[in-house]
Amino acid sequence: MEVQAVTRPHAVEPTEYEQRRCVVTGVAGFIGSRLSKRLVRDGWTVAGIDGFTDSYDPVEKVMRAAGLVRTSGISLIVGDLVELDLVRAFEGAEVVFHLAGRAGVRASFTNEDRYEHDNVLATKRVLAAARQAGVRRVVYASSSSVYGNGQTPFREDAALAPISPYGRTKLESERLCLRNADADFEAVALRYFTVYGPGQRPDMGLRLFAEAALTGQPIKLLGDGTQRRDFTYVCDVVVATVAAADAPASGLAINVGGGSDVSVLEVLDLLRAFVGTELTIDEHPFARGDVRVTAADLSRAHSLLGFQAQVPFAAGFEREVSWVRERLDRNVAISA
Ligand SMILES: NC(=O)c1ccc[n+]([C@@H]2O[C@H](COP(=O)([O-])OP(=O)(O)OC[C@H]3O[C@@H](n4cnc5c(N)ncnc54)[C@H](O)[C@@H]3O)[C@@H](O)[C@H]2O)c1
């Protein structure tokens, strides 16, 4: 795919009196909530949209959204992107950060229709409405899952062969975004690599491992633990996503990886040290759709986003384990 340089025909050049306006879809999610906080801090006026879907406990999402409205002053629209009047919701916005979606590889094998709905259908509607409402740019949250078991490090122009319905629906959505880009409408897709940190989704490995370790439960290990991941700390992902609003390019995908190269066995060694006890490991076969290695080539992120991940894996994972510990302590305190 060719990198298209863009000039901005209708970019808003904010003066010191003007605030830039944007919409964040998936605002109640793990990454969307952190992104919104950062955008508000940077001076953007943020409208958030979320349907509080049942991908995991909606209470977690409602609590995050309520916190954002209370402390960051964002406005919130609750509903399904496939049903809402999005043209109205997007009016006056310069950028739509489209993070809403159904994430998670394993569940996608048994719930394909929901993945199609929340990823592909929702993205189609977001794109049509964004263009109609005069939005300058859509920044789409794509995924390293589009690469499947490709050759590492994954380069954006490599052949793509996702191995799960999740990866396929993210690739289809990403292609819809990029093909939509033209002289009047900009789009970039960020391929996030395994995002972690405080607030991580409850279905993700690091959080599940930490919760099990801290409650003395066995850790469910899928495969032999030699699978390797390019883990990316959530604040680094947020910085890259904010930068994508003004990246001098459109119609292309950009990897966002943390530059870590960590095996699951190394994750467990760190966890053992953080909790200070031996771990009980409950071994299971490799899960369907689980790729063996992910590793991002970051040349494009460096040149177009000025991106350089700041948080090394051990430090970021320690913060996530502390967050899980505090959360468990609080719940225990509430129920006691
Ligand atoms: N977390 C990761 O490691 C990771 C990696 C690669 C890509 N991504 C992508 O980044 C995005 C955010 O991921 P996350 O981990 O924060 O997930 P998340 O599930 O915490 O957040 C997604 C949010 O989107 C909302 N949503 C889903 N479908 C919707 C619909 N049809 N209408 C309105 N709202 C809807 C959900 O309610 C949820 O709050 C997703 O698109 C995901 O595919 C995440």
Q: What are the boundaries of each domain within the chain?
A: 21-331
- Whether 243 and 300 have beta carbons less than 8 Å apart is answered as no
Predicted local distance difference test score (pLDDT) of residue 333: 59
Predicted confidence band of residue 17 (pLDDT cuts 50, 70, 90): low
For 305-317, write each residue's pLDDT tens digit: 999 999 999 999 9
Residue 4's pLDDT band (cuts 50, 70, 90):
low
Ligand 1 center to residue 55 CA distance, Å?
A: 9
With a cut of 70, say whether residue 62 has pLDDT above it: yes
Q: From the CB of 129, is ligand 1 less than 6 Å away?
A: no
If one residue of 34, 49, 80, 102 were mutated to test the ligand 1 pocket, choosing by the most ligand atoms within 8 A of its CB, it would be: 102
Instruction: Look up the pTM and report it.
Output: 0.95
Q: Tell me the catalytic residues.
A: 166
Indicate the pLDDT class of residue 133, thresholds 50, 70 and 90.
very high
CATH code of domain 21-331: 3.40.50.720
pLDDT level of residue 248 (50, 70, 90 thresholds): very high
34 burial (CB, 10 Å; 0-12 / 13-18 / 19+) is: buried
Cα separation, 169 vs 177, in Å, equals 12
pLDDT of residue 212: 98
pLDDT given for residue 19 in this prediction:
87
Alpha helices, DSSP H, located in 215-312: 234-244, 264-275, 299-305
Å from CA of 26 to ligand 1 middle = 6
Share the mean pLDDT of the chain. Answer: 94
Most informative mutation of 27, 55, 173 for ligand 1 (most atoms within 8 A of CB): 55
Q: Is the CB of 52 under 6 A from ligand 1?
A: yes
The per-residue pLDDT for 9 is 44
Tell me, using a 6 A CB cutoff, whether residue 201 lines ligand 1. Answer: yes
Alpha-carbon gap, residue 239 to 35, rounded angstroms: 8
Bridge pairing between strands 137-143 and 195-196? unpaired
Pairing relation of β-strands 186-192 and 75-78?
unpaired
Q: With pLDDT > 90 as the criterion, what percentage of the chain qualifies?
A: 92
Residue 34 Cβ inside 6 Å of ligand 1? The answer reads: no
Q: Is the CB of 296 under 6 A from ligand 1?
A: no
